[in-house]
Chain A
């Protein structure tokens, strides 16, 4: 089956992002495919390259990156939600005249249309962090 995953949970304050990650791994292990992982609302913080954790804690953004590299996942961060929260790439840094940017590799910024397209293309769409 073709799945898409919507992540609205931020990586530290909520468990939802880690649950989404484990769900994604379970899908792939079970032979399903993932059309897209779409990060919306505070879920955009999953795409930060500047997350710094103590050595004995796992970095959710790095785990998404590793999973994306291994399985060629499409990790899309909602651009409107991201720029409002200070999560930008080099292109947006230029547009908004910011000196720095912080979107991690493997993630891309795009519009909410990518969420709708994911719904059209997928047999199942599963949301994590939708009630926070």
Chain B
């Protein structure tokens, strides 16, 4: 399989830093430039997709609103690490969008399917 598109890897919780928002901005820009883009959520990055966030109490914008627009930008491949979900007691029912759950052993293949990997 020839590698194409960009995989954006995000590992940070949604509001402790700007990383989640910065990764989303990069993904949306890829889409605007018609580059196939996959988002990979690892480690605390899986918290980004949790339903029911209310960050306005800490003066932050709700990421869920932007995330729900991802399908409109043709960003439909959202991959989530199974071990990251498991170790945090989370399941796909806790997440705001349908995701592809990826086992640790499958991660190298996922990365190699893409032409570039950006870690944000």
Beta-carbon contact of B116 and A119 below 8 Å: yes
Chain B residue nearest to A111 (CB atoms) is: B29
A120 within 8 A of B: yes
Residues facing B in A76-132 (CB within 8 A) are 80-81, 111-113, 115-117, 119-120, 122, 124-125, 127, 130-131
B30 within 8 A of A: yes
Residues facing B in A37-55 (CB within 8 A) are 40-41
Residues of chain A lying within 8 A (CB to CB) of residue B119:
127, 130-131
Total number of residue pairs linking A and B with CB closer than 8 Å: 51
A65 within 8 A of B: no
B120 within 8 A of A: yes
Beta-carbon contact of B33 and A41 below 8 Å: no
Beta-carbon contact of B116 and A125 below 8 Å: yes
- Which size class do A's interface residues fall under? 20 to 34
Interface size on B, residues (CB 8 A): 19
Give B9 Cβ to nearest chain A Cβ, in Å. 8
B54 within 8 A of A: no
Chain A residue nearest to B25 (CB atoms) is: A112
Beta-carbon contact of A112 and B26 below 8 Å: yes
A112 to B30: give the CA distance in the assembly, Å: 9
Residues of chain B lying within 8 A (CB to CB) of residue A116:
6, 26, 29-30, 32-33, 35
Beta-carbon contact of A80 and B25 below 8 Å: yes
Which residues of B line the A interface, CB within 8 A?
Answer: 6, 9, 11, 18-19, 22, 25-26, 29-30, 32-33, 35, 115-120
The contact sample of 6 A-B pairs, CB cut-off 8 A, is: A112-B25, A112-B26, A115-B118, A116-B33, A125-B118, A130-B119
